[in-house]
A and B are shown apart, each in its own frame.
Chain A
Amino acid sequence: MINHIIEMFSYTFLVKAIIIGILVSLCCALLGVVLVLKRYAMIGDGLSHVSFGTLSIALALNLMPLVFSIPIVIVVAFLLLRIKESSKIKTDSAIALLSTSSLAIGVCATSLKGGFNIDVCNYMFGSILALSKTDLVISAVLAIVIISVFIIFYNKIFAITFDEDSSKASGMNTYFYNALIAILTALCIVVGMNLMGSMLISSLIIFPALTAMQLFKTFKKVVFTASLVSMVCFLIGIYISYVYAIPTGASVVLANLFFFLFFHMMGRVIK
């Protein structure tokens, strides 16, 4: 095992992938706690499909993928937050519509341009080989921003997540904080997609929070445990993917699933 690990660190592209992966896992876990508790968990899923659609279009039109995707995904994140307030279409149905439509648009754009190539496949299931230096810089900046937001606004985030109405009634700008979370989630998903793939990135948002909630019952502990579990799962996932030559994204998800089941059983035993 030690040999494998030493070997892994001798490849610069793997070191890059590990750093990016740890940063993205941490970001997703922090945002995930808020999204899961606010019952917005599916927003992560919807946004990842939308970013697949936009990235496919960007590839088909030879545009810069990130530059094209990020603004669109942010706009969609805002729209999804607004849907919650109007009652005609429920959020879960709206997200399902959005997910499949975006996927369809992405698939059509791809086939018009000559069918599936390796780039499109990478966007669907992730590829650590596709990670660039830009990805590293962006994920580092994003991690710094998200951690700072969580430190500075921790108490506000708690208050709004716990009871949005009473926070709003007492004059807190809940729209600002919701928008902040939406923008950060959108960024996190677009950045994490090269690594995890659009089909799998939302698991990084949902799993760690749910896993932590199986065992821990206070907000602070859930936030810390989710972050830790998320990073550990990523490391285990990338190690397994290296040893058995399976896709990184998929093995990270399986590591997360294993931890979830383990925590769930522990939770039942302790009860």
Chain B
Amino acid sequence: MKQIEVKQLQVFYDKKRVLTDISFDVYSKDYIAIVGDNGSGKSTLLKALLGLVPSKGMINFNVKKNEIGYLAQKDNSLKQFPASVFEVVLSGCIGQFKFFYNKHDKEKALQALKKFKIEHLKNKNFSELSGGQMQRVLLAKTLCTTKKVLVLDEPTTGLDSKTIKDFYKIIDDLNKEGITILMVTHDIEASLLHANKILHINNTMHFFDTTDKYRECEKCSLVRDMYD
């Protein structure tokens, strides 16, 4: 099933064109890695897709907005925020028409904590965690929001290699359970290993097809070498 359809997407920042002619479709159970150089518009693409920045062109959603979980790039302003870890994770369960949490939500939040092996941090203060712990808490929160589509912007920033391995395993499992994954990443190797499609952009479409085709893609290998 086609879940998201993007056609001729354009984004301007202060009249400067950041993205042009972006078109791609997302089917259910897709695992799409979005790659490209710094400043190629990867994060902007996610934001435009989710309606966080104004854009031109067509974006069609076949999923409800409240079925989408989104984790933005690491945000340092959160470091001082007074909240317990559980308050943060639970806040991922809040929905459009939902005002209070029930038992089911609390159970879900606990499960998410367990998935990222941070249940022992449950009652800790968010502002006193290390960078890697914070990122895992935010991932757990995003997991609580996600029902059909998970959108991640460089989610492995600040994680150690062991946690990164765990992280990819969790995402793989979610994908197998039927969750669609859209992930902006710098990690080409991991993308080739885990994703089923690659969307390579440099302010415009560079490549969009299956991972296998990306390996054979001539024009892409250059950029790939750069990462290697």
In this complex, the member of A159, A170, A212 whose beta carbon has the largest number of chain B beta carbons within 10 angstroms is A170
CB contacts (< 8 Å) of A155 on chain B: these are 91, 94, 98-101
Contact pattern, B 83-96, Cβ under 8 Å of A = 1, otherwise 0: 11001100110111
Given A152-B99, A213-B82, decide whether A170 and B66 contact each other with a Cβ distance below 8 A: yes
Report how many A-B pairs have Cβ atoms within 8 Å.
96
From B2-10, B68-76, B111-119, B184-192, the one touching the partner chain is B68-76
A218 to B95: give the CA distance in the assembly, Å. 22
Cβ–Cβ contact B70 & A166, under 8 A: yes
Answer whether residue A228 sits at the interface, using C-beta atoms and an 8 A cutoff.
Answer: no
Residues of A within 8 A of B (CB): 37, 39, 87-88, 152-153, 155-156, 158-159, 162-163, 165-173, 212-213, 216-222
Answer whether residue B38 sits at the interface, using C-beta atoms and an 8 A cutoff.
Answer: no
A155 to B97: give the CA distance in the assembly, Å. 12
Nearest Cβ on chain B to A175's Cβ, whole angstroms: 11
Answer whether residue B128 sits at the interface, using C-beta atoms and an 8 A cutoff.
Answer: yes
Cβ–Cβ contact B65 & A169, under 8 A: yes
Answer whether residue B125 sits at the interface, using C-beta atoms and an 8 A cutoff.
Answer: yes
Given A158-B91, A169-B65, decide whether A39 and B77 contact each other with a Cβ distance below 8 A: yes
CB contacts (< 8 Å) of B75 on chain A: these are 163
A218 to B83: give the CA distance in the assembly, Å. 4
A167 to B69: give the CA distance in the assembly, Å. 9
A219 to B176: give the CA distance in the assembly, Å. 36
Nearest Cβ on chain A to B53's Cβ, whole angstroms: 9
A153 to B99: give the CA distance in the assembly, Å. 6
CB contacts (< 8 Å) of A219 on chain B: these are 82-84, 87
CB contacts (< 8 Å) of B125 on chain A: these are 217-218
Nearest Cβ on chain B to A40's Cβ, whole angstroms: 12
Given contacts A152-B99, A162-B91, A171-B64, 17 further A-B contacts (CB under 8 A): A88-B14, A156-B94, A159-B91, A162-B78, A166-B69, A166-B142, A166-B145, A168-B50, A169-B51, A170-B70, A172-B94, A172-B96, A212-B82, A217-B84, A217-B125, A220-B87, A221-B82
